Amino acid sequence: MSEDRVLRVGLLGAGVVGAEVARLMVANQVDLAARAGVGLIISKIAVRDLTVDRPGIDPALLTTDAESIVADPEIDLVIEVMGGIEPARTLILTAMAQGKAVVTANKALLAKHGAELFHASDLADVDFYYEAAVAGAIPILRPLAESLVGDHVERVMGIINGTTNYILTKMHETGASFQGALLEAQSLGYAEADPTADIDGFDAAAKAAILAGLAFHTQVTDEDVYREGIRAITADDVSVAKAMGFVIKLLAIAEANELHGSTEETISVRVHPTMIPVTHPLASVREAFNAVYVQCESAGELMFYGRGAGGTPTASAILGDLVAVARNRNEGSLGPTETDYADLDIAPIGVSRTRYLVRMDVADVPGVLAAVASTVAKNDVSILTVRQEGRGADAELVVLTHIATEAALANTVRDLRELAVVQRVVSVIRVEGLI
């Protein structure tokens, strides 16, 4: 293969994902070269610590000097899998300014500085691909940006954090507490020692921002995403949901508000625990798997399912991007760029509309139902079903509402808390997927 039929890659990071990218590039080099139409060679790998044992990686490629990779005129493309905001942001911007294409899996960086990075890649006329940043191996960004670009996306609803899905699956299937399921997820290596990014929804919110931006052709950052994690979900919440034919999932939802009859063209982007009927396609997504359910005007409903994390699955998405960039380069062309022409406003959470399940402890006395029903009605919220379980002098009342705004629901809960017969509003969980 002649020199100009080679694409030289600089790899920033050799952790779980980076090491797999390096391994697969060597293991599959013949096929990758045939598909890319050019040999794909790793020139250098930036790591933090040279002394770590990295089986299968040539130690001669390693350097702790990441800047030397993005400045190296011999390197054509940089794969960034170090994660975090800095130095990843500066390294990517420098690589682009040096005319290098960039492939990244960095969701946190894209959700914060996506607009700056897209602008920089446009300015430098280089490809910028990031399929691995959302839902690991699952091809979902290119389908949104390319296959579905002729359609009108109405809603994207996804399970895009495997750790929380594992925890919620264990709670649902074994009756485990949140803490018990979290400990199990940690012992199996799904959840990190500090699980905040996953269980408080930060990871899912970053991915939701990226999905929403592509689906609605609008700049969306992680700050635009309403976020609630799963820490407050109890074994009782799960068991009530289960008894009613629901499963609780941490869902990321990006939707056009016109879907709910609003005449204003705005979108809502939110991440929160959500009850969905066990018959919903997303309900069958178990353990650490991810899935993204897309609703389009013409295509109807689509679902993308697979492994959302892990070295090899994430490397699969990165290598797909690498081959795509190599093919573009052979043609002297670039892949599609981001479009944010729609520039839709992101509605505050109060405007979002969904159904809610409100659990409350009440005194089991005459008139309780009437008092609760009139408080709910006074706030313009309509009740779909009520379930009451007596427990001696007290009872648990479970109210499932029709679709209402978040603002109306918040007012309802505030007023319920003030009722003498309501001892405690135990939990409020949003409900999706009911026809």
Binding residues vs ligand HSE (CB under 6 A): 161-163, 198, 203, 308-309
| Complex with ligand HSE: residue 198 or 321, whichever CB lies closer | 198
Whether the upstream peptide bond of residue 87 has omega within 30° of 0, thus cis, is yes
CB of 110 to ligand HSE, least distance (A): 12
Could you tell me the smallest distance in angstroms from the CB atom of residue 333 to ligand HSE?
Answer: 31
Minimum distance from residue 208 beta carbon to ligand HSE (Å): 12
Residue number with CB closer to ligand HSE (129 or 356): 129
Give the position of tokens 């030397």: 68
Q: Which two tokens stand for residue 43?
A: 């020139």
Q: Which residues are catalytic?
A: 207
User: In angstroms, what is the minimal distance from the CB of 165 to ligand HSE?
Assistant: 8
Cβ distance to ligand HSE smaller for residue 162 or 311: 162
Kindly report the number of other CB atoms within 10 A of residue 200's CB atom: 17
Q: Which residue has the tokens 């797909």?
A: 320
Is the CB of 8 or the CB of 172 nearer to ligand HSE? 172
Please state the closest distance from residue 206 (CB atom) to ligand HSE, in A: 8
**CB-nearer residue toward ligand HSE: 161 or 405:** 161
The answer to whether 403 and 410 are in contact (CB under 8 A) is no
Is the Cα dihedral 267, 273, 274, 280 positive or negative? Answer: positive
CA dist., res. 17 & res. 13, Å (int) = 8
Separation CA 226–CA 200 (nearest Å): 12
